[in-house]
Amino acid sequence: MHAFDAIIPFLSKRMEKQGSAILFGSHERIPIKKESFQPVVPVVARLVFVDSGCGCILSGPDVCVEFVRLYACFYDSNVRVDRELNEFFLVVLALQKGLDLAYEVVLFDSGGVEKEKFSFDANDPVLCFGGRRAEPSAVASHVRKLLELRFVEELCGKSNSGDIIVRDGDLEARGEAMELVLRSLRVSAQKRGVVVLGLSKTSRLCTDLGASALVVLRNIAPVGSWSYYAGGALAFVKLHPGSKYVFRCDVMPFDRDLLPKAWSALSANSADPAFLGYPYGLMDADKFAQVAKDELSQLRARFAVMSKEMFSSVEASLDAHNLLNSF
């Protein structure tokens, strides 16, 4: 197309910019300087990898029911030695609150026993998008992350000093409830001497000139495996010399002196050719945490039969678009 003759050079010129700092959070600026790169040498250690999976059983403008699976796998000398699984159901319901709405979230275990409740304002800025009221699915996603961070804290209590726990995803707290959980996690990890990391497969972080932070670091990085850490709660890592991937890695600032060992352990676990440079333990966790389509279909079918499809009209308010896409 002729438009590409103009768009490609336009993008190429604009994307030459780099910047002098990475923007993180609301106000933090992480300086870009070559001396912050450090080589990473693979060394085996005890690692715990954590991930979660979910499947939507019922979704409407006022309700959401999800099946959630939390999974952890334990590795010693790069051999899986144990694993742990937690499964439950999240029910999100819209309720009247004054002249507006709120959401109640009820957590049930796999046996149907009510375990816990949460409540959120429908206009909580942490959950809203574009100034609109939060949708039930956004509330469910928020609670899933909260529960996953709490699961990491439980694993800290079962770990030994020097162990490394890696969550698939960041360690940022959004909202008061999540900040309380993350604060408790920090205390538990420091008390037990456990290093907690959050490794993200993707990152939207940019520099002060609007360039991709990962691309800028990759362009100025030394050859081989490396870590980039300038202090604070954020780092970046390339875990295998032959990998083209750089990952965001959230850290606990008090672990500063222990981080080189943690990244060396991750590097030793990141030599699988299926995804070179990405920890095999996280691939393992992703595989077993996933709620497969067949499994979700069975859950949805069972729910429909046992409820005598009394909620079919709820989903009809949202699924017309999906029906059109199927033609």
pLDDT digits (tens, 9 = 90+) for 111-149: 999 999 999 998 888 888 777 888 999 999 999 999 999
Buried b (16+ CB within 10 A) or exposed e, 219-244: eebeeebbbbbbeebbbbbbbbeebe
Report the phi/psi class of residue 77: left, alpha or beta, with left for phi > 0 and alpha for psi in -120 to 50.
left
Residue 22 has pLDDT above 60, yes or no: yes
Residue 321 has pLDDT above 60, yes or no: no
Side-chain-side CA neighbours of 153 within 13 Å: the count stands at 17
Kindly state the average pLDDT of the residues 296-308: 84
CB-CB contact of 196 with 156 (8 Å):
yes
Residue 252 has pLDDT above 90, yes or no: yes
d(CA 158, CA 148): 16
pLDDT for 308 equals 64
d(CA 247, CA 205): 11
Lookup: tokens for 59 = 């979704």
d(CA 75, CA 45): 8
d(CA 196, CA 252): 7
* Per-residue model confidence as pLDDT tens digits over 159-172: 999 999 999 999 99
End-to-end C-alpha distance for the chain, whole angstroms: 28
Residue 244 has pLDDT above 80, yes or no: yes
d(CA 146, CA 107): 12
Select from 137, 123, 62, 132 the least CA-distant residue to 95.
Answer: 62
* Per-residue model confidence as pLDDT tens digits over 62-92: 899 999 999 999 999 999 999 999 999 999 9
Q: Which of 208-222, 233-247, 261-275, 309-323 has the lowest mean pLDDT?
A: 309-323
Kindly state the average pLDDT of the residues 97-104: 88
Select from 237, 218, 217 the least CA-distant residue to 279.
Answer: 237
Determine what percent of the chain is predicted with pLDDT higher than 70: 94
pTM greater than 0.85 (yes/no):
yes
d(CA 163, CA 262): 9
pLDDT for 311 equals 61
Side-chain-side CA neighbours of 297 within 13 Å: the count stands at 3
* Per-residue model confidence as pLDDT tens digits over 180-225: 999 999 999 999 999 999 999 989 999 999 889 999 999 999 999 9
CATH number of 34-320: 3.30.2170
| Residue 318 pLDDT level (bands cut at 50, 70, 90) | low
d(CA 216, CA 214): 6
Give the residue, 232 or 313, on which the prediction is more confident. 232
pLDDT for 301 equals 87
CB-CB contact of 120 with 102 (8 Å):
yes
The mean predicted confidence, pLDDT, of the chain is 90
pLDDT for 9 equals 85
Burial class of residue 146 in the structure, from the number of CB atoms within 10 Å of its CB (0-12 exposed, 13-18 middle, 19+ buried): buried
Kindly state the average pLDDT of the residues 33-49: 95
d(CA 217, CA 237): 10
